[in-house]
Structure 1
Amino acid sequence: MRTIGMPGRILAAVLTAVLLGGCDSASPTRTAQTPPPASPAPDSPPPGSAAPGTPRDLVTGLSVPWAIAFLPNRDALVTERDTAHLLRITPDGKRTDLGRVPGVEPSGEGGLLGVAVSPSYATDHWVYLYFTSATDNRLVRLTLDNDKLGPPQPLLTGAPKGGNHNGGRIAFGPDGMLYIGTGETYRTELAQNRDSLGGKILRVTPDGKPAPGNPFGTPVWTWGHRNVQGLAWDDTGRLYATEFGQDRFDEVNLVQKGQNYGWPAVEGFGKDPRYTNPLLTWPVSEASPSGLAYADGSLWAAALRGSRLWQIPLKNGKVSTPIAYYTNTYGRLRAVVRAPDGSLWITTSNKDGRGDPKQGDDRILVIPLK
């Protein structure tokens, strides 16, 4: 996808214009929106918020590293979307290929996607994966013992698959339940169909069953989403998600039980009380936000088409003006996670068919917070 370069100050001002509250095909009908006027952007994070330091390469020569999850010993598990391989990466950059995950059939934006480590990994050795199979997108778990992968055990099957919009981010929440971001695979009607797993955020038990307290007695936690690829919780347990818009606005949403986030009737902000508005939006050319992390008072969003890292300062669940870093420096950014030492680990996605790979791509960058 084409990236648009602008100075960080101007970019942040553009974003401020759509505060309060991408992909490329013809749009369905949706509610119009009128952003408030822009205000001057800050040069640096507000007092009390961390700023990123100088990135360094941890690992190079990867192939579309899609997700990262940390083991108790501080090693990381990393998925490669298109090769379907699961890697183990140590904090000093040693790489071990744990093998190809059986049953994955990569195609388009599908393949080996999300990874999560069991909260009780020390005793059960379960690793959770979300991937595209021959028939669907699905959640599986398998054991990892002495770098040996056990056979995948399907836990949740039947999520729609497609060439685009497969979602795929998974993460355990503070409540011990597993959350899954899914996409509507360009079948926009699925987002408003509560009987479909597409275009949703799902919440399941570690065994893949609908979690206690879910609003509809199914795996569905929230609905009306287009393509969710980022999940993160703040210090108080609030859940946030990134979502790809279509032609106009990408989103960060505060995720609340049972809420309908409006797609395809609304892209960005609307005035229909049936739908929950986002916390903020970006022009799709400046974001296409995939991974999301929370660290030191801010959300951090990795931008694919926007080719930058966004810092979104938070206070009591409210956002202030986002700040762009590393614009067009490393290309497309896919995953961002907070490492056990407090740094951010970020993956590039320049080999995904839409980027411009450079020597060493794809890579994992380590960014200290200061």
Structure 2
Amino acid sequence: MNFGRIAVALLCVLVSALSGGAVAAHADTPARTIAQGLHSPWAIAFLPGGDALVTERDTARLLRVTTAGAVTVVGVVPGVVPRPQGGLLGVAVSPRFSTDRYVYAFVSAAQDNRIVRFRYPEGTGITGIETVLAGIPVADAANGGRLKFGPDGMLYATTGFNFRLEFAQNPGSLGGKILRMTPDGRPAPGNPFPGSVVWTLGHRNVEGLAWDPYGRAYATEFGEAAFDELNRIRRGHNYGWPHVEGSAADPRFTNPELTWRTGDASPSGVAFAGGSLWVAGLGGERLWQVPLGANGRPGTPVAHFVGTHGRMREVVVAPDGALWVLTSNTDGIGVARAGDDRLLVLPADFTRGG
């Protein structure tokens, strides 16, 4: 048993209690439902014209949702093997989509997790699927799966530790990492480990990744039993798992910027808007607002929509500044309500006044 980690966790609980912790917000602007009846939706990525692509984890369907709420099935991504917490996960649209028509997806296959891409010509379905990166460890849970293009034009992917404690601290494993690669899957220039797509290590299960306007990267990470984390992501840093959950006085590891008790968060998607990070909470069944100071440090988090919509999986910023949020009540863990799952929209004014 790791008594050091337990002691740190207990200390953090005490500090959180003494400081008052996070506070719930006042009554929120009602969210507008733009689509409903989705099946375990997982990720959103916007096309240049303002429509969104939405993944469904268990069906492997890729959906297109217009700003008016029209939903069409673009296609079923081949080779996806659904698992309790795996399947068709993250999605990203190429920064050069207008010319190359590429869409990227993070998928669970029979033997591994992998990143694939395919073309999506206007007015047709998906074509020409190819593997960009294979060999990411797969398991029934803790698969990570978020996929984002960064402001540097590189493709970032988050991976989980798959309940294999040896993965996260091993630079030679793709499990328990944040990966950074070129759009065709090669190690990106400037990566910390020569010939490797590994960008950071020591992660348990990162499901959210976002950048602020200054290019600072933040990731949301599931803890085990004590603390979920918001981490500032820096090249080559080690975030401590499985030796640390939450903060520790260990110079080998980078401490989180913010922690939550696991019952309050289970943080998945994260986005930046209106001077704050917005974090979708699964177990916490809420949308967290984390104000950022000029130095990028977080202020006191504020909870929105506590229990109103159930589990929240994804949050992204639309081209018009609105927040699009996916619920996750049909994922086998949540309690589905009539119409679940839903794609919710919060107007841009919400992020400025929230």
> TM-score, normalization: structure 2?
0.93
Q: 1:163 aligns with which of 140, 143, 154?
A: 140
Distance 1:30 1:215 in 2: 29
**Residue pairs, 1:39-50, within 5 angstroms:** 39=20
**Quick one: structure 1 residues 331 and 44, their matched pair in 2 at CA, closer, same or farther if it must change by over 3 Å?**
closer
Q: 1:278 corresponds to which residue?
A: 256
1:366 aligns with 2:348: no
Query: Do the aligned residues in 2 keep the contact of 1:52 with 1:368 (CA within 8 Å)?
Result: no
Residue matched to 1:17:
none
The correspondence of residues 145-184 of structure 1 with structure 2, limited to 5 A, is: 145=121, 146-184=123-161
Distance (Å, rounded) in 2 between the aligned partners of 1:77 and 1:40: 36
Question: Does the aligned pair in 2 maintain the 1:30–1:267 contact within 8 Å?
Answer: no
1:71-90 to 2 correspondence within 5 Å?
Answer: 71-90=47-66
Which residue does the alignment assign to 1:207?
184
**Counterpart amino acid of 2:105?**
L
Query: Which residue in the other structure is 2:175 paired with?
Result: 198
SS in 2 for 1:265: coil
Q: Residues 39 and 332 of structure 1: is their aligned pair in 2 closer, same or farther, counting only changes over 3 Å?
A: closer
Q: Is this contact kept in 1: 2:208–2:269, CA < 8 A? A: yes
5+ long unaligned stretches in structure 1? 1-26, 46-50
Residues 144 and 150, structure 1, Cα contact 8 Å, conserved in 2: yes
- 1:123 is paired with a residue whose SS is helix
Separation in 2, partners of 1:183, 1:111: 14
Q: What amino acid is aligned across from residue 134 of structure 2 in structure 1?
A: T
Q: Deviations over 1:92-140 (max 9, x none)?
A: 1000101210110111101000000000000000000000001100001
Q: Which is further off, 332-341 or 27-36?
A: 27-36
CA gap of 1:142–1:41, structure 2 versus 1, over 3 A, is closer
- Among candidates 22, 38, 60, match of residue 19 of structure 2: 38
Aligned residue runs from structure 1 range 204-243, under 5 A: 204-217=181-194, 218-243=196-221
Q: Distance in 2 between matches of 1:44 and 1:82?
A: 33
* SS of 2:348 mapped into structure 1: coil
Cα gap change, 1:212 to 1:147, in 2 (>3 Å): same
Deviations 1:134-157 (A, max 9, x none): 110000110001232013110100
| Pair 1:327–1:210, CA change in 2 (3 A) | same
Residue type of the alignment partner of 1:310: W
Q: For the Cα contact (< 8 Å) 2:320–2:348, is it kept in 1?
A: no
1:345 aligned partner: 324
Q: Distance in 2 between matches of 1:68 and 1:351?
A: 17
Superposed counterparts of 1:295-334, under 5 Å: 295-315=273-293, 316-334=295-313
Deviation for aligned residue 1:301? 0.4
SS in 1 for 2:166: helix
Structure 2 CA distance for partners of 1:52 and 1:74, relative to 1, 3 Å:
farther
The alpha-carbon deviation at position 42 of structure 1 amounts to 6.4
Letter in 2 for 1:259: H
- CA shift, 1:52, in A, is 6.3
Contact kept, 8 Å, 1:333 with 1:349, in 2: the verdict is yes
| Bigger relative contact order, structure 1 or 2 (CA pairs below 8 A, ≥6 apart) | 1
Distance 1:139 1:90 in 2: 25
**How many angstroms apart in 1 are the aligned matches of 2:348 and 2:63?**
25
Cα contact 2:90–2:107 (8 A) shared by 1: yes
Q: Counterpart amino acid of 2:203?
A: H
CA distance in 2, matches of 1:40, 1:183: 27
Q: Does 1:131 align with 2:107?
A: yes
Tell me, what secondary structure is at the counterpart of 1:269? Answer: coil
Between the aligned partners of 1:41 and 1:209, the Cα distance in structure 2 is 41
Alpha-carbon distance between aligned partners in 1 of 2:345 and 2:188, rounded to the nearest angstrom? 34
Any idea what the Cα deviations from partners look like across 1:1-34, whole Å, max 9, x if unmatched? xxxxxxxxxxxxxxxxxxxxxxxxxx76652322
Aligned to 1:248: 226
Q: 1:294 aligns with which of 250, 272, 291?
A: 272
Q: Matches of 1:349 and 1:64 in 2, distance apart? A: 6
* Alpha carbons of structure 1 residues 30 and 364: separation in structure 2 relative to 1, 3 Å: farther
Closer, same or farther in 2 for the Cα pair 1:353/1:312, shift >3 Å?
Answer: same
Distance 2:93 2:22 in 1: 38
Give the aligned residue type for 1:347.
Answer: L
> Aligned residue for 1:23?
none
Closer, same or farther in 2 for the Cα pair 1:93/1:188, shift >3 Å?
same
Q: Residue 22 of structure 2 contacts residue 303 of structure 2 at CA under 8 Å; is this kept in 1?
A: no
